[in-house]
Amino acid sequence: MNETIARELETWPPRIESAVARCGQHIHNYTIISSVSSTQDTARQLNAPPGTAIIAGQQTAGRGRFGRSWSGEPGQGTYVTIILQWNDAPRLAIACAVAVTDTLRSLAQNKTEFGIKWPNDVLARPSTNQPWKKISGVLVEQFNSRAVIGIGINVHQQSWPDELADRAISLHQLGIETERIAVIESLLLSLNTALSLDDKQLVKRFVELDMMTGCHCSFTSGGEKYTGQIIAIDPQRGLSVLLDGEQSPRWFDADRTTLHDLPFSRPS
């Protein structure tokens, strides 16, 4: 780890301590580690109890959904894992996506549009005539009857490898300059709030932020490729899609399904 990041990390403990103290209900412990392979692995190695946040300065082998890798360039993004009592994974995943969106909106002071690509990618676009790109991803895993929820947010990245250039964006690229610790503080507080929403409130928030209902999309589910129009999204049941050539919609669950397309505009 370089000296700049080491100095940056020295400022984190009191700020995270204070954010966690304000969270109270869902997050009450934290561990800060300068460099890890993946905060998801650290959570397992520490066998951390529910309510613990694992926060890393950098990740050398961050992972995403479906075995994809998650870029962990030193000092560029935020890498947080929260351990929660495992009760309802789809609900937890959606609460996390809502929390990330709230965090980004508040950091952007509502000057940038953010939305959710089901189940839990958070998208942003720099202006109305530009395409949406991914700024954050959430990974939900299970360990010892606990939910291990990993959240990555792109903060300072100035460029991307070719394969991500059309799909990924950072706060810096949106013109939002902020410290990583400010993103983490806000995330912990937003998570605590979103996890406290009841089912009705959570669905209402998700529907406001959902970018995909109404879109015609290609997607993979259980290894099969499909195309069709998304009719509805339900946090429990998943995606209801009217497949091309079919007469009635089918449900596809979040565990096995990944949408390929990014929306160009929010469907009406």
Residue 40 touching ligand BTN (CB under 6 A): yes
What is the smallest separation between the CB atom of 58 and ligand BTN, expressed in angstroms?
11
* 3-state SS class at 46: helix
Residue with Cβ nearer ligand BTN (153 or 203):
153
Q: What share of the chain is helix, strand, coil (3-state, %, to 5)?
A: 30, 35, 35
- Interactions with ligand BTN, residue window 105-124 (CB under 6 A): 121
Query: In the 8-state DSSP scheme, what is residue 57?
Result: E
Residue 30 contacts ligand BTN per CB under 6 A: no
Q: How far is the CB of 254 from ligand BTN (least distance, A)?
A: 12
Which of 64-72, 89-97, 99-107, 168-176 is the region at the interface with ligand BTN (rule: CB under 6 A)?
A: 64-72
Which of residues 8, 50, 64, 251 is near ligand BTN by CB under 6 A?
Answer: 64
Q: Are 66 and 258 a contacting pair, CB within 8 Å?
A: yes
Instruction: Write the interaction track for ligand BTN spanning residues 67-86; mark x where CB under 6 A is met and - where it is not.
Output: -x-x--------xxx-----
Query: How far, CA to CA in Å, does 109 sit from each of 67, 172, 177, 194?
Result: 34, 14, 12, 19
The CA distance from 241 to 232, in Å, is: 7
Residues 121-140 that bind ligand BTN (CB under 6 A): 121, 137-139
Q: Distance between CA 60 and CA 68 in Å, rounded?
A: 14
The answer to whether residue 90 forms part of the interface with ligand BTN (CB under 6 A) is no
- C-alpha radius of gyration, the chain, whole number: 18
Asked if 154 interacts with ligand BTN (CB under 6 A), we say: no
Task: State how far the Cα of 214 lies from the Cα of 249, in Å rounded to an integer.
Answer: 13
Q: Does residue 150 bind ligand BTN (CB under 6 A)?
A: yes
| Closer by beta carbon to ligand BTN, 57 or else 150 | 150
Q: Smallest distance from the beta carbon of 49 to ligand BTN, in angstroms? A: 18
Q: Which two tokens stand for residue 129?
A: 């005539």
Is 103 a residue that touches ligand BTN (CB under 6 A)?
Answer: no
In the chain, beta strands by DSSP E: 29-36, 52-59, 77-85, 113-117, 121-125, 133-143, 146-154, 216-221, 224-234, 238-243, 250-252, 257-259
CA separation for the pair 188, 16 (Å, rounded): 9
Query: x/- site string to ligand BTN, residues 184 to 223, per CB under 6 A?
Result: ----------------------------------------
Shortest approach of ligand BTN to residue 64 CB, angstroms?
3
Closer CB to ligand BTN, 65 or 125, in the complex: 65
Give the dihedral sign, CA 58/262/189/26.
negative
In the complex, the smallest distance separating the C-beta of residue 54 from ligand BTN, rounded to whole angstroms, is 9
Question: Which residues make up the interface to ligand BTN (CB under 6 A)?
Answer: 38-40, 59, 62-65, 68, 70, 79-81, 121, 137-139, 150-152
